[in-house]
A = this chain, B = another copy of it.
Amino acid sequence: MKKSFVFFFFLVSVFGIAQELMSPNGNFKMKFYLLEDGTPTYQLFYHNTEIIKRSKLGLELKNDTKSLLNDFQLADSKTASFDETWKPVWGEETKIRNHYNELAVTLQQRQTDRKIIIKFRLFDDGLGFRYEFPEQKNLVYFVVKEERTEFAMTGDHTAFWIPGDYDTQEYDYTESKLSEIRKLFRGAVTENASQQQFSDTGVQTSLMMKTTNGIYINIHEAALINYSCMHLNLDDKNFVFQSHLTPDAKGDKGYLQAPCVSPWRTIIVSNDARYILASRMTLNLNEPCKIEDTSWIKPVKYVGVWWEMITGKSAWAYTDDVQAVQLGVTDYTKVKQSPKHAANTKHVKEYIDFAAQHGFDAVLVEGWNEGWEDWFGKSKDYVFDFITPYPDFNVQELHKYAASKGIKMIMHHETSGSTRNYERHMDKAYQFMKDNGYDAVKSGYVGNILPRGEHHYSQWINNHYQYSIEKAADYKIMVNAHEAVRPTGICRTYPNLIGNESARGTEFQAFGGSKPNHTTILPFTRLMGGPMDYTPGIFEMNISKLNPNNNSHVNTTLANQLGLYVVMYSPLQMAADLPEHYNQFLDAFQFIKDVPVEWEKSVYLEAEPGYYTTIARKDKNSNDWFVGNSNGLKERVSEINLDFLDKGKKYEATIYADAKNADYKTNPQAYTISKQKVTQKSKLSINTKIAGGFGISIKEIK
């Protein structure tokens, strides 16, 4: 680690004094200005092209005669340079370089004698900045009415957006011009278990855009801790995004106590979409790992008793006879078991057998605990206790059985959004896990939040997710939180957060389907903040075969599903389909069995949001490589240069690709498997269908 002062420039402009900062390699330049009325602004250039026009910075406070918006003068200005390489506990690569130049401007508000610092970090892949509120007399406790950060675009860019919403992120992405968002907005809002929009031009981060000049711009946030999650509200006349924080039950956006800081606002920019995916800015803007012993944190490949419930083939609920559960009162031993209840000991053993047979690490089981008969939509406070299994689920027996086969069980804690109830039971629930051999939990927050009036992404509830992660770490438990706030790189600091859903996952393929190019966008949006438990691996696309009442169709080819194991980076990967479907295609299933969940490095071969993504990754524990592709809206030939392979080594590549007659709608299971010898000099040319893709395993020949 080295930290040293670097040059920066003072410019005198018509707007007053300006500071200028360059990125380490000079690609980026940012300017900080104070307007005449003392409003702070910033501007961002990439290769001398303006990316962010002069944009205002500041916060509006509640019950405060003077907000933190203007009347500032420059009290101090400091620059620094930082260059450090650190090792993540898990990740897309084993070493990450954190290299930036920093500008910290201290602003003094004349009338109030308050100080804030705006800290800019300019990397070679973009800009991060945040508000810092140092300890001082005149600004101690304050309530944020709204953060007023602007991101002024230079034109009517193409955006890949989902509707801004306080309670869900599970929308399909819309590709449109910024000017088209308003008219497309209502159509983009599809039904969800809990949702509340705030503006017909409100969108979520991470927001991916592309200019007419082919520059890619990604806006998100990093290190969202003790703060409300940021949306972007577009002024679509001027193409200016304004930050819009998620409110609490009273409509307030945040309660802060100085000294404190806001999350980082990030702008990642490149003229090559691959470098957006390669950016580590989000992680770099988070604090180093705070867990001392991380030996217990291990990537996981798993199967689960889950897809059969999602499709409606099976059920979470134990019985159809109980209308309204009273935990501790309802006697499940006296009611009729539903034949659809999947989380029964016998059936779970079949999954354990399958997992052991095929080399998986773990088995997730949902619907194992009392309460599923009326868990959703009832605003139930005491909805689950997280420790009481249904009569047909023998925790101890399954623990022993799984352990005897080298399989771990993955716990499931659906909270139904009832956060107080979860916190009340958390210690016992985590201890129950440890007592019964579980060291990872999938948590869920489906439905409206309790306490009522709060939202999934408000400061109060973000604080709950963080509490859960930290408490889980105390118990050495890994967390995979579904429906929680979108990740912002916190997994660097708390690497036991091994996954999140926080976007439209594979489950929606059984809820009517997702767009065919969905997974060509997710790496540029949702995954910018951290890994997603996307649950790929669906081999049977016709859901009515599982459940005659469900006419959903999985909008991808089978080969695409394989490619996702590489494209959608996660230390937690599921093979989501039923064992019986894998048994029908064991040759294709071999790729899922082979693909690792720990990587040494990643190479981004091809990328265009909405259209294609091809990534190569090297196994952490061997010299093998794996390549994955997800293809979007157009059939395409993927041209791959294998120059990332080790010089002089020989490999055998096994290519799992779309068959010529493959079609995601009519013939999704048509794939080919071919093998060929390859070296560093090889080039591959692979045809990919709409919503198609491929997976390649490249194994060293010794």
User: Chain A interface (Cβ within 8 Å of chain B)?
Assistant: 135, 137, 140-141, 143, 248-250, 252, 255, 257-259, 323-324, 326, 374, 378-381, 420, 423-424, 427, 451-454, 460, 463, 467
- Least CB distance from A441 to B in Å reads 18
Q: Once bound together, how far apart are the Cα atoms of A447 and B323, in whole Å?
A: 40
Q: Which of the residues B137, B248, B252, B324 comes within 8 Å of A257, measured between beta carbons?
A: B324
Residues in B with CB closer than 8 Å to A255 are: 379, 381, 452
- Residues in B neighbouring A374, C-beta threshold 8 A: 140-141
**Cα–Cα distance between A140 and B420 once the two chains are bound (Å):** 22
Query: Chain B's nearest CB lies how many Å from the CB of A562?
Result: 44
If A381-B463, A452-B460 are given as contacts, then 11 extra A-B residue pairs at C-beta distance below 8 Å, sorted by A number, are A135-B323, A140-B323, A140-B374, A141-B380, A248-B451, A249-B452, A250-B453, A257-B324, A420-B423, A424-B467, A427-B427
A323 to B143, CA, bound (A): 17
Number of copies of this kind of chain in the complex: 2
Does the CB pair A258–B141 fall under 8 Å?
no
With A381-B255, A423-B423, A423-B424 already in contact, the answer to whether A324 and B451 are too (CB < 8 A) is: no
Q: List 22 A-B contacts (CB under 8 A).
A: A135-B323, A140-B323, A140-B374, A141-B324, A141-B378, A141-B379, A248-B451, A248-B453, A249-B249, A249-B250, A249-B452, A250-B452, A257-B324, A257-B380, A258-B324, A259-B326, A420-B423, A423-B423, A423-B424, A427-B427, A451-B460, A453-B453
Report B-chain residues with C-beta under 8 Å of the C-beta of A463.
Answer: 381
Assess whether B381 is in contact with A252, with CB atoms less than 8 Å apart.
Answer: no
Cα separation A427 to B427 with both chains bound (whole Å): 9
- In the complex, what residues of B have CB within 8 A of residue A467's CB? 424
Distance between A287 CB and nearest chain B CB, rounded to angstroms: 15
Chain B residues closer than 8 Å to A259, beta-carbon distance: 326
The CA of A460 and the CA of B258, in the complex, are separated in Å by 30
Q: What distance in Å separates the Cβ of A461 from its nearest Cβ neighbour in chain B?
A: 10
User: Min CB distance, A328 to chain B, in Å?
Assistant: 13
- A452 and B379 contact, Cβ closer than 8 Å, known pairs A140-B324, A257-B324, A258-B324: no
CB distance from A327 to the nearest CB of B (A): 11
Q: How far is the CA of A378 from the CA of B141 in the complex (A)?
A: 6
A702 to B619, CA, bound (A): 93
Chain B nearest Cβ from A315, distance in angstroms? 19
Cα distance A250–B249 in the bound complex, in angstroms? 7
Residues of B within 8 A of A249 (CB): 249-250, 451-454
Residue of B nearest to A255 (CB): B379
| A452 and B323 form a contact (CB under 8 A) | no
In the complex, what residue of chain B is closest to A463 when comparing beta carbons?
A: B381
Chain B nearest CB from A167 CB (Å) reads: 14
The complex places the Cα of A141 from the Cα of B379 at a distance, in Å, of 9
A252 to B379, CA, bound (A): 12
A324 touches B453 (CB 8 A): no
Cα A324 to Cα B258 with chains together (Å): 8
What's the nearest-Cβ distance from chain B to residue A591, in Å?
A: 45
CB closest residue in chain B, given A137: B323
Listed residue (A259, A378, A452) with the most chain B CB atoms within 10 angstroms of its CB: A452
Q: Which residues of B contact A420 (CB under 8 A)?
A: 420, 423
Contact of A452 among B141, B252, B378, B424 (CB under 8 A): B252
CB distance from A105 to the nearest CB of B (A): 23
Return A429 CB to nearest CB of chain B, in Å: 13
Q: Tell me the smallest distance from the CB of A465 to a CB of chain B, in Å.
A: 13
Partner of A451, one of B380, B427, B451: B451
**A143 to B255 alpha-carbon distance, docked (Å):** 30
Give A379 Cβ to nearest chain B Cβ, in Å: 5
Closest to A428 in B: B427
Closest to A329 in B: B259
With CB as the reference atom, state the residue of chain B lying closest to A252: B452
A137, A453, A460 — which one has the most chain B CB atoms within 10 A of its CB? A453
Asked if A452 meets B258 with Cβ closer than 8 Å, knowing A137-B323, A324-B135, the reply is no
A259 to B424, CA, bound (A): 23
Cα A344 to Cα B137 in complex, Å, equals 28
Measured between C-beta atoms, what is the minimum distance from A454 to chain B in Å?
A: 7
**A277 CA to B259 CA, complexed, in Å:** 54
Chain B residue, CB-CB nearest to A450: B460
Taking the closest CB of chain B, its distance from the CB of A253, in whole angstroms, is 12
Q: In the assembly, what is the distance between CA of A324 and CA of B142, in Å?
A: 12
Residues of B within 8 A of A423 (CB): 420, 423-424
Measured CB to CB, the nearest residue on chain B to A452 is: B250
Residues of B with C-beta under 8 A to A381 = 255, 460, 463
- Give the chain B neighbours of A323 by CB distance below 8 A: 135, 137, 140
* A427: B residues at CB distance < 8 A: 427
* Identity of the chain B residue whose Cβ is nearest the Cβ of A419 in the assembled complex: B420
Residues of chain B within 8 A of A141, CB atoms compared: 324, 374, 378-380
In whole angstroms, what is the CA distance A323 to B136 when docked? 9
Q: Chain B residues near A324 (CB, 8 Å)?
A: 135, 140-141, 257-258
Distance in angstroms from A450 CB to nearest chain B CB is 8
Which residue of B is nearest A379, CB measured?
Answer: B255
